[in-house]
Amino acid sequence: MTFNLTLIAIFTAGGFIYSLILPKSWRKWTLFIASILAVYALQPPLLIRNMDFILPTVTIFVTVFVWIATLPRQDNQLRITIQWRDLFTIAVLMLLITGLAMTRFLPSEWQLLTASRPPAPLDVFLALFPLALLIILVGGIQINQPRQKVLLSLMILVIIGVFIILKTDRLALAFSGWLREQTGRDATLANPLTDLNWLGFSYVAFRLIHVLRDRQTGKLPDVSLRDMLTYIIFFPSLTAGPIDRIERFQEDLVALPEMNGRDPSRIVIGSTRIVIGIFKKFVVADTLALFALTATNAGQVTYAGGMWVLLYGYAFRLFFDFSGYSDIAIGIGMLFGVQLPENFNRPYLKNSITSFWQSWHITLSNWVRFYIFSPLTRTMLRWKRKPSSDVIVGIGLVATMVIIGLWHGISFTFFIWGLWHATGLFIHKMWSDRTRKWYNQFKKKQGQLRLWNWAGIFITFHFVVVGWVWFVMPDVGSALSVLSKLAGVGF
């Protein structure tokens, strides 16, 4: 089931029942169980047998292993013991997944919680039981802090490795062919879209890296297995974010039993966000989609103005679709007592590219700031013979923006899109560094400042919009063709 109106209605109704009727002490377990079930329910069907059951299970168990690896260890205390509460969580997990497999015996129209007919429950249990034992054993392995850091780095590398395979067309195709061979299916029909569409993996991967990295730097709070799993696969934000932070998420979980379920403002604000989000995503964005730039309609345009209309259409469709989705996710989160972070703050009305990136997909740009830009520039700043700070920021920006680009898919066009924004950010930094004193004086002239602001908004918006050409077109040739047509040549 995809994130459609039916599902939003189910989540919203669930939110009302949860807020108004459910006993307070059940709230945390409810979020946990709903999130586990949603990982399976939201997964699109896949053509390799049982793959749409296996991938959600892998998401869950990778998270369990990450949790084990991030348990706090001190030098004087080598062994950690898993607490009873966490063993209980593992038991509930086994029961839930085996229970899901039991729906195999229901008539197919009742198998609503899984993408296709689940595997046999006994097979599922026999696969999961050794895994659960392994988790408990791994938890007891003696490991000191320096070794834990190595283990955490290895896990980060594995996640990045899987990410690269899934996001690189050729590698994903080869992997899908290999999987087909292993399962006795025709390898020539391999197609990553129908074989390996792993729901939410991009977002899950970034949350997992955040957790692993924060343990390395000592920032990660102590988290129970149940709360870690709920954070990583929290159902409103599983599909496409926002990417919350675990210490913030945990504060909300702690406050859940005390939350006033009948607080009208929370319910009204949450429901309003959902309605606004539905309007933005399903009315505005879907209407704009009729004339938004695509690889197909780009070839049919015969004059520059038409190309600009398509491009504006795409820019607004993208914004309304994604920010509408974020509104729905935040609204549903609120009904369940979790205040997910904002992802957009009027990005197309910003007067500089730096402000744009502080207001577009905010939780992703924060993530890359914390885990790429900041550590990379800090490392370079610690060098004995370090380059000038302008060069360091330049390198940091290129690395960061290229990674944001490649996160969407490893291709040359996304690489150029990242480079385009890195260049914009770098030029803006150079400019604002050199004009800061002048600007602080200029700010006092109200009338001229307003004009200056509007000019900034116009330039920033068009810089972003022209950049979208690289985002939407599948290859360099077609992107260059669109760009030349925008300039009125090449028809």
Partner 1 sequence: MDEKTIREKLRAYITADLMRDPDYPLGDEEGIITGGMMDSFALAELAVFVENAFNVYIPDPDLTVAKMDTLNQIVARVMRDIK
Q: Is residue 375 part of the contact set for partner 1 (CB under 8 A)?
A: yes
Q: Which is nearer to partner 1, 297 or 354 (CB)?
A: 354
Among 2, 260, 345, 374, binds partner 1 (CB under 8 A): 374
Smallest distance from partner 1 to CB 148, Å: 17
How far apart CA 484 and CA 491 sit, in angstroms, is 9
Binding span for partner 1 by CB under 8 A among 214-222, 272-280, 284-292, 342-350: 214-222
Of 87 and 419, CB closest to partner 1: 419
Provide the b/e sequence for 51-69 (b: ≥16 CB within 10 Å).
bbbbbbbebbbbbbbbbbb
Binding mask 136-155 for partner 1 (x = CB under 8 A): --------------------
Task: For residue 373, state whether it binds partner 1 (rule: CB under 8 A).
Answer: yes
Out of 195, 214, 252, 321, name the contact with partner 1 by CB under 8 A.
214
Q: From the list 191, 354, 423, 478, which residue makes contact with partner 1 (rule: CB under 8 A)?
A: 354
User: Per-residue contact track with partner 1, 401 to 440, x per CB under 8 A?
Assistant: ----------------------------x--xx--xx-xx
Among 6, 144, 389, 448, binds partner 1 (CB under 8 A): 389
Q: Judged by CB under 8 A, which stretch of 128-136, 317-325, 341-349, 365-373 contacts partner 1? A: 365-373
Query: Which C-beta is closer to partner 1: that of 214 or that of 227?
Result: 214
Count, residues near partner 1 per rule CB under 8 A: 28
Catalytic residues: 408
336 binds partner 1 (CB under 8 A): no
Binder among 217, 300, 302, 446 for partner 1 (CB under 8 A): 217
Of residues 382 and 385, the one with the C-beta less far from partner 1: 382
- Contacts (CB under 8 A) with partner 1, residues 245-284: 245
Minimum distance from CB of 259 to partner 1 (Å)? 24
**Residue (249 or 314) nearer to partner 1, CB:** 249
Contact pick of 371, 420, 461, 468 for partner 1 (by CB under 8 A) = 371
- In this complex, which beta carbon is closest to partner 1, that of residue 218 or of residue 447? 218
Closest distance of CB 449 from partner 1, Å:
12
Peptide bond into 107 cis (omega under 30): no
* Nearer to partner 1 among residue 183 and residue 389 (C-beta): 389
Paired strand residues for 77 = 74
Among 381, 391, 451, 455, binds partner 1 (CB under 8 A): 381
Note whether 218 binds partner 1 by CB under 8 A.
yes
Q: Which is nearer to partner 1, 130 or 218 (CB)?
A: 218
Site of interaction with partner 1 (CB under 8 A): 214, 217-219, 245, 354, 366, 369-371, 373-375, 377-378, 381-382, 389, 393, 396, 429, 432-433, 436-437, 439-440, 443
